[in-house]
Chains A and B, each alone.
Chain A
Amino acid sequence: MAESNITSDFHLEVGDHGHDDHHHHEQGFLQKYIFSQDHKIIAKQFLITGIISAIVGITFSALFRLQLAYPDTAFPFLESLLGKWAPGGIIKPEFYLAMVTMHGTIMVFFVLTAGLSGTFSNFLIPLQIGARDMASGFINMLSYWAFFISAVIMFLSIFIETGPASGGWTIYPPLSALPQAIPGSGLGMTLWLTSMVFFIASGMLGAINYITTILNLRTGGMTMDRMPLTMWAFLLTAILVVLSFPVLLSAALLLFMDRLLGTSFYLSDIFIGGEVLHHAGGSPVLFQHLFWFLGHPEVYIVLLPALGISSEVISVNSRKPIFGYKAMIGSMIGIAVLSFIVWAHHMFVTGMNPFLGTVFMLFTLIIAVPSAIKAFNYITTLWKGNIRFTPAMMFAVGLVSFFITGGITGIFLGNAALDIPLHDTYFVVAHFHLVMGSASAFGLFAGVYHWFPKMFGRMMNPRLGYIHFWFTFVGLYLVFFPQHFQGMGGVSRHYYAFTEFSFMAEFLDLSKFITYAAWFTFVGQFFFLFNFIYSIFRGKVAPANPWKSNTLEWTTPIKPQHGNWPGEIPSVYRWPYDYSKPGLKDDFCPQHIPDEELDYEDGFEPPKPVKPKEPAQTEGSKE
């Protein structure tokens, strides 16, 4: 069995030493917490780096919201904070764009990709499938450190003379290729691309590990159709990463060459800074194709883990099986496959052949079908449940709400004809901030509140969690719902000020309102930050299974050591969603307890014992 190989890898003795194996773990601080190969430590490293990135990312948004609300007002504190980028307390247009770009890049890649998928894939995969660790602890460590280097480079780029990349997070050339066009396209852009190369490496190393681990290291009885939906979500996410990130790498390398070696992949017929450039024959549209071939799957790389987490959290806390388990898997597979053939819906009005627009509109709107299935299944899971409002549960149902409200505007934007007026307006900003930003952030929060006891052995304070939830849920709706109005009024995104056009100036009041709401939400995050840090050290000590959950991670010791289970890895006898099963005394029945050992109600005849299925090593290959 694979299990025993893994065990020997980690020099972990099982069985008789189980209760007293501390002397096997005498590792130095550096080995234990910094260059750790333990998936749980790596997950925490991803989480903490993600939280730090999130602080930077949302601080940027809080600052540039000030500019949008008060375009002509000086804020002296901005000058002390940003120096030459805000002379006299008014942000410069170039730096406004830099802040928007960094906000987008950091939130999409560093927080919602690495911080979400990196954290929970690492933390949950071995624990929920019943493995000692990832298939390769070393590659896993490399994955984190590549991410760390990437983050360091990106944050360094904020402090350089010419400022960070400023061409939007989509870095369309020629703007991103020509330092003459905007100062951020100088060294800042080079650092952006370098950072992304490390980030892509990190994503690939992680994803290969996740896929291998899920397919090969499942414990006895854990067939593919008995995996929690989190595992399916992480598996599909990892597959998306492996297939799409290399394309971003190629796009970035070609852009590197255009910038540094004078090639013309994306550039042609350009007159800038008083001279005609030598570039000829390149196409900026090529870059957009390559970028969005990653960029659209990326949306689902961000969203699928959040959907997986919310499936698990909603099922546990409504004390009901997730409704339509197989339909949920099917719709996730459908979304994952479709996500590769819809990328050009970001490009309807970029001058590409209109015929392509038709094809991509067709596939794009089809995505609404699996998405609708998921939304309805979540809601049906709540029906006749016994809903416990833990903070995790509240964030999970908040996700469902955002997923619907934000997703529905996708049928406007995915429609090529309607995209002509709506493209690059605040309607788009509202759409993706709700469905990708807010929904995924809520997945992240739900995951942290739910698995915090397993991560740190202590509980987070639920009351602070509730306060945090209401601040964030109300705040995000107040921020992004009115942005639809701005979009329908024609207000354009990436605008430094709405003062120059009369139809946009009508929305200045609304802009102020949105800024207040943004600051309200921003302030609410400190409840989380305080709760998180405080509970790591001073929270209530967690019980073994605080949420009365079925999945395997709650069968480990409260603070699992290296290798997760001190003794043998438990086998699995059923799917993970048997909550409130008729005939049972408890309203849950953990996966690892065989039918004959369950506590039945009086007069209920237990089913005949069934042998656990063999580990599903061959099953994996058919995926």
Chain B
Amino acid sequence: MDAQSLLSLTKWLLVFIFFLVIYSMALVLRLKKIDPFKEWNPTKINGGLMMLFFIVGTIAAVWSSAYWFPKFALVLDPASEHGVSLDRMFWRTMIVSIAVVVVTHTILFYFLWRYQDRPGQKALYYPHNNKLEVIWTVVPAIVMTILIADGVRNWHDIMDPDEATKEASIDVELTGRQFQWDIRYPGVDKELGQAHVKYISGANTLGLNFDDVKTHDDILATELHLPVGVPVHVHIRSMDVLHSPTLMQFRVKMDAVPGMPTNFYFTPSVTTKEMREIKGDPEFEYEMSCQQICGGAHYNMRRVVVVETMEEYQKWLSEQKAFYTTFKEMNPGMDEGKTADAGDIKEIGTLTSTN
């Protein structure tokens, strides 16, 4: 036995002896019918502890909130246009919530401390008061109505943007699979070609239908690049189980459902460079994650999102090669519109693998 394990064994032994001592002391006290805590009044102690809990708890809550506040990236520094109004609504709701929690808890713990059982004291017989009931029915109802109105407006603005936004938007497709995101751009024709799991074959892991000429200029990318200030129409697909592409900093989230394409419109408003300055972190990157449980590596479906100026975006896009071209180069013998066999083209599968 080495010294290390001897030491840890001794530690456990000491703990064991400690408990034995306490236990035997308790036994002695019981045999001798001595109650060392007889003088303690549990009502007073617990009433006091309730007050203490409230005071210490409030200080701890305020201090810890202030300490962690700069890291609340989900509700601070939005990087999209709708994110600004969402965050505003979040903090409004937060003010209401804090007010409710503080007021109710102050009263609750004050009452617990103030109205402890005292000998000779009789409680007030006070079974109901309809006026009070009406007050705390109507006030929450009004507050909720305001919050609902705010929520409905924002929800519709986000889910159903106006026609002008839809017209001006660029398309991009996110496809979830265990465990990575595939990113597809429509290419020069600005239209995404047809894709379905039944066309999957070999390196064509996304299932593009090459009979549809619109697929011929489609681009597959390993990073999501977006131009700042331009509405984006995200088309969302899944190949296997549910996923949920989440662009946290842009307040974007929508499940990817196999068999049911979904979509989301948003407008990035802050470039990666600008956000690095805001955050004071030169390493900062926007990140895309999955937020619907999808299997073992659910925690690791990361893609980097780059928001840049229109020029930078155009430049980056022009450097990308259409997938169909790559695919043809790898399959020199293939006929137009026919998909290739799996075996001989495995190498280019690396194009879509995780970084």
Contacts and interface: CB of A to CB of B under 8 A. Distances in A.
Interface string B35-78: 00100001101110110010001000100110010011111000
- For chain A, which range describes its interface: under 10, 10 to 19, 20 to 34, or 35 or more residues? 35 or more
Interface stretch (B162-170, B287-295, B312-320, B343-351): B287-295
Contact of A417 (B74, B86, B262, B302): B86
Contacts of A167: 293
A587 B104 contact: no
B69 to A, nearest CB: 9
Nearest to A381: B126
A580 interface: yes
A259 interface: no
Nearest to B199: A276
Contact of A357 (B94, B140, B155): B155
Interface string A361-396: 110011011001101110110111111110000100
Contacts of B154: 417
A168 B148 CA distance: 30
Nearest to A397: B112
Interface string A472-491: 01100100011001011110
Contacts of A250: none
Contacts of B53: 473-474
A420 B80 CA distance: 13
A386 B123 contact: yes
B71 A351 contact: no
B342 to A, nearest CB: 9
Interface in B225-256: 236, 239-242, 244, 246, 248-249, 251-255
Contact of B136 (A175, A376, A474, A579): A376
Contacts of B302: 500-501
Interface residues of B, number: 108
B108 A587 contact: no
A349 B253 contact: yes
A489 B156 CA distance: 25
A92 B200 CA distance: 31
Contacts of B260: 268, 283-285, 351
Contacts of A365: 144, 147-148, 151
Contacts of A501: 287, 289, 302
Interface in A564-618: 577, 579-582, 587
B57 to A, nearest CB: 7
A525 interface: no
Nearest to B139: A372
B18 interface: no
Contacts of B289: 492, 501
B293 A97 contact: yes
A582 B125 contact: yes
B285 interface: yes
Interface of A: 92-94, 97, 167-168, 172-175, 178, 181-182, 267-272, 276, 280-285, 318-327, 349-351, 354, 357-358, 361-362, 365-366, 368-369, 372-373, 375-377, 379-380, 382-389, 394, 397, 400-401, 404-405, 408-409, 411-412, 415-418, 420-425, 462-463, 466, 470, 473-474, 477, 481-482, 485, 487-490, 492-498, 500-503, 506-507, 510, 577, 579-582, 587
